[in-house]
Structure 1
Amino acid sequence: MNAKKGAVVTSAACAFSFLFYGIKAEIVLRTKEPCGTFDVWLCAGADLLATSVVVLEKTGVVAWCNAAAEMLFGVSRRNLTGSGIGQWLPAVTQWLSHLPAQGDKFSPYGAVAELCRPMTDPEPVYATLSPLAGSEGYRVLEITAVHDAMQLVREEEQAGMNEATKALLRNLAHEVKNPLGGIRGAAQLLDAELATSDEREYTAVIISEADRLQSLVDRLLVPYRRERRVGPVNILEVLERVRNLLTAEFPAGLVIRRDYDVSAPEIPGDKEQLIQIFLNLMRNAVQAMHTLIDEGRAEITLKTRIARQVTIQRKLWRMALSVEVIDNGPGIDPAIREKIFYPLVTGRDGGTGLGLSLVKTYVDQHGAAIDAESEPGRTDFRLLFPLKAA
């Protein structure tokens, strides 16, 4: 793992270490309080971290863990407390055996280790072992899924490039808009003075291309023109509206399946933007499946679920609404897989590359997250909308 990825993985570690700074943690095992004698605010703060955090005795016995660790291990805090870390992360037992028996006289150590859980294959994770300042031999173990760490790096890189690209395109669109109108007007005047239809074909091309560029410029500026109107939105109503539009447009050859959690709560959002998000995603799928539609084999599945303990825009949420748009098309071209949300990036002949860029802009404005998994025969766009716990 390179230095940049390591820095991302340990960012939550720094935050957790800060929580412990200057605090003497006297941990009493197997007490009725799930945090032992940790201060309540300390436990609450650690539970907000996306990184899994486990406090260990010097022997490797789990003294405490945060909510993210419960989710990672698939075991409750009460059951995890008092168990040996070696049954989950054998490598950590080896690390502990090489550390001093007392105090915090060692430097933090991090490496990739295998997480072993019942009924599942071992999973690579990045684990960091650090001393717990002010304690008598306790250690702090921070664990991040390798996939999550790389996903975070990818999101940060994409966010920086996306914002820079969109700012450049907005400025460029404004600069192009005025001279474009002048070109079209001049072509119309010239068209009126030309005598033959053959000559007017050239001005018709100029006018047509000017209109096409004007439409492109307008689409680039769409997200920044309209004032957002935020209110409670039933996501199933949004999905049904888009499904009805696509069903009317493709009455044959396309099946849109529904896999809804009807108990899903409303989310705060701009309904028109949400409709545009799912309309763009589904149209994108349809355009990729034109051959399957002709053969009558095209399928789109709309799926909603409640997700728990998820990270959205670098913040851990206890609950989120997960919405997936799944199609059985050819998949995303690997050459553009990491750039699909950038403006003007498209894998389709004649495409503008603005549909998914607009989706990403609207998703970001909702404080939500979007990602895509794709292989031949299946593409899955998953959106996560944060929910406040009741």
Structure 2
Amino acid sequence: MDTKHLLNNLVTAVIVIDADLKLCYANAAAEQLLGVGIHRLTEHFLADNFRLIGVSNELLTESIKENQGLTVNTASLITFDNQHHTVDITLSPLEQEQGLALLELRQVDQQLRIHQQLTLDAQQQAAQYLVRNLAHEIKNPLGGLRGAAQLLSRELHDPQLNEFTDLIIEQADRLRNLVDRLLGPQKPTKHSLHNIHEVIQKVLKLVSMALPENIDLEQDYDPSIPDIQMDPEQLQQAILNIVQNAVQALECDGGNILIKTRTQHQVTIGTERHKLVLALSIIDNGPGVKPELLDTLFYPMVTGRDNGSGLGLSISHNFARLHGGRIDCQSTSAGTEFTILLPIENNN
């Protein structure tokens, strides 16, 4: 039986290195993970085949020389094409081959993403339940407050005093609108076939009307993406909320916002695996999301802006969920990327 053929059928990246961290062998999964061909891999040292890996060269070298195994869980891996992965790293010295070791890189991005999504969904649903109950409690006395202000306004004949009742009515209406948004739809609406790019173009038309001159909007569409089942108004609002956040992040120093559409294969959303999904990315080169907000970014009432309501991303996440999808966020000091993932198989 051909050992190399067996190794090339593994989904785990397998690499053989020596004590100088020179590659002697790499299987097909290693080529795919690192995005580097087999000839380049084996002609260079380990560290020359990626930007970053979450284990030091010194530790790997010492483990090989001392013939000791090594395991590092959930380490970061950044490839030359700037793909970020999370991997479990296992180093196993080869007993029959002194000075050589087997290095296994097993991707755990999918498992972590599923766990994070299930945790996020559970926590967000709990937060939404709490906020919705609070909104119901606010709405009833709010109507009475507004009605009382209207009655009082009719009895007052001093315009200066009427200014105060008008202020009460105005602020009550503003609060009612906020409550109505908190009590937004929680169940799927009627869906029909629509083109996602038409929805995006409507969003960009709205945004362009008040777009600062120092911000550029760019589009990179995959025209082969088929029409999908959707509520176009909900998805328009979901996309608009994210694009507006990007505009607000860039309005001081300026920058670029890229709207990109692609398809992805074999993607797990929640606990369901989909053969084909739409990946709609909204990418800006702004200052990024504050690290302390990343884990709660989609919760109601969470915002990084002094004048923000904290509802935009929560509403977008909920609309994506109502379409059987999800929203991912990656953010660094160099920019932020939101990706809306929506199933598109079995729509036609």
Q: Does the alignment reach a TM-score above 0.5? A: yes
Please give the alpha-carbon distance, in whole angstroms, between the structure 2 residues aligned to 1:308 and 1:168: 36
| Residue of structure 2 aligned with 1:182, choices 141, 144, 147 | 144
Match of 2:163 in 1: 201
Distance in structure 2 (CA, Å) of the matches to 1:122 and 1:238:
29
Paired amino acid for 1:208: E
Q: 1:231 aligns with which of 178, 188, 192?
A: 192
SS at match of 2:259: strand
Q: Deviations over 1:301-337 (max 9, x none)?
A: 1111122232222333332221100112222122212
Distance (whole Å) between structure 2 residues aligned to residue 372 and residue 115 of structure 1: 17
**What is aligned with 1:307?**
264
Deviation at 1:114, TM superposition (A): 8.2
| Gapped regions of structure 1 (runs ≥ 5) | 1-28, 31-56, 77-86, 99-109, 129-141
Contact 1:312 1:368 in 2 (8 A): yes
Distance 1:73 1:269, change over 3 A: farther
Per-residue CA distance 1:223-257 (angstroms, 9 max, x = gap): 248x6121222111111111122122327333210
Q: Following the alignment from structure 1 to structure 2, what is the Cα–Cα distance between the partners of residues 243 and 204?
A: 36
Equivalent-residue separation in structure 2 for 1:210 and 1:287 (angstroms): 27
Residue identity in the other structure for 2:201: E
**Contact between 2:78 and 2:84, CA under 8 Å: does it hold in 1?**
yes
Paired amino acid for 1:236 = H
Match of 2:286 in 1: 329
1:250-286 deviation per Cα after TM superposition (whole angstroms, max 9, x unaligned): 2733321011111122222211111111111111211
Amino acid at match of 1:241: K
Q: Percent identity?
A: 37
Q: 1:124 to 1:255 in 2, by over 3 A?
A: closer
Deviation by residue 1:205-230 (Cα, 9 ceiling, x = unmatched)? 322221111011111122248x6121
In structure 2, the residue matched to 1:376 is: 333
d(CA) in 1 for partners of 2:274, 2:181: 33
Counterpart of 2:88, as a letter, is: Y
Q: Once the 2 structures are TM-superposed, how far is the Cα of residue 382 of structure 1 from its aligned partner? A: 1.0
Which of 145, 170, 187 is 2:132 aligned to?
A: 170
Secondary structure, counterpart of 2:209 in structure 1: helix
* RMSD between aligned residues: 4.2
- Which residue of the partner structure matches residue 112 of structure 2? 150
Change (3 A) 1:299 1:66: closer
Structure 2, unpaired ranges of 5+: 15-26, 34-45, 47-59, 91-103
Q: Distance in 1 between matches of 2:145 and 2:243?
A: 36
Counterparts in 2 of 1:268-347, with a 5 A limit?
Answer: 268-292=229-253, 297-347=254-304
1:304/1:322 contact within 8 Å kept: yes
Give yes or no for contact 2:218–2:257 (8 Å, CA) kept in 1.
Answer: yes
Q: Tell me the CA shift for residue 161 of structure 1.
A: 1.1
Instruction: Give the equivalent residue in structure 1 for 2:209.
Output: 248
Match of 1:36 in 2: none
- Matched-pair contact (CA < 8 Å) for 2:186–2:318: no
The 4+ residue runs of structure 1 with deviation greater than 6 A are 66-71, 113-123
User: What letter corresponds to residue 375 of structure 1 in structure 2?
Assistant: T
1:183-226 Cα distance to aligned partner (Å, 9 max, x none): 1010111122234333333323322221111011111122248x
> 2:311: which partner in 1?
354
Counterpart of 1:289, as a letter, is: L
